[in-house]
């Protein structure tokens, strides 16, 4: 599975897009810190590996937490946003405050470029 599809799928499974959020997942964004003037679309939180743990007690009755060595990838709600370049498969990660919401008529729906007037 591609990174893009895996990010979308896991974020869907974990309810990222339906839970109340200050972030507009449906919006298109430009990224002033990026050199390319294209529109980006958010696809979910960056994934992070969460190890499975179990809790045991030592001989004095103190709880000890162990990692099993296994785990799963989950969306990191404290993390960065995975952004997909419109018109491409390219995925990069940015902090939410690096993103600037744009209007639909500010970018080309064909190639994703800001300033292209194809449509
Ligand atoms: Zn265009």
The pTM score is 0.82
Question: What average pLDDT score do residues 75-82 get?
Answer: 95
Q: What is the CA radius of gyration of the chain?
A: 19
**Dist. CA 87–CA 116, nearest whole Å:** 13
Q: Per-residue pLDDT for 54 more than 70?
A: yes
For residue 34, give the nearest of 77, 89, 95, 75 by alpha carbon.
95
CA 82 to ligand 1 center in whole angstroms: 23
| Chain segment 1-49, per-residue pLDDT in tens | 578 999 999 999 999 999 988 899 999 999 998 888 899 999 999 999 9
* Token couple for 36: 């390319």
pLDDT at 8: 96
Rounded mean pLDDT, 81-93: 90
- Asked if the model's pLDDT at residue 81 lies above 80, the reply is yes
Q: Distance, CA 18 to ligand 1 centroid (Å)?
A: 31
Distance from the CA of 87 to the center of ligand 1, in angstroms? Answer: 9
| Contact status, residue 44 vs residue 8, Cβ threshold 8 Å | yes
């Amino acid at each position: 599975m591609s990174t893009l599809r895996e990010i979308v799928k896991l974020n869907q499974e974990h309810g990222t897009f339906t839970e109340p959020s200050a972030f507009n997942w449906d919006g298109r964004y430009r990224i002033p810190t990026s050199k390319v003037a294209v529109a980006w679309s958010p696809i979910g939180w960056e994934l992070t590996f969460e190890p499975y743990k179990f809790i045991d007690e030592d001989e004095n009755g103190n709880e000890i937490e162990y990692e099993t060595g296994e785990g799963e990838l989950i969306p990191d709600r404290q993390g960065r946003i995975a952004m997909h370049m419109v018109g491409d498969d390219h995925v990069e990660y940015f902090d939410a405050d690096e993103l600037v919401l744009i209007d639909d008529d500010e970018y080309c729906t064909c190639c994703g470029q800001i300033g292209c007037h194809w449509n």
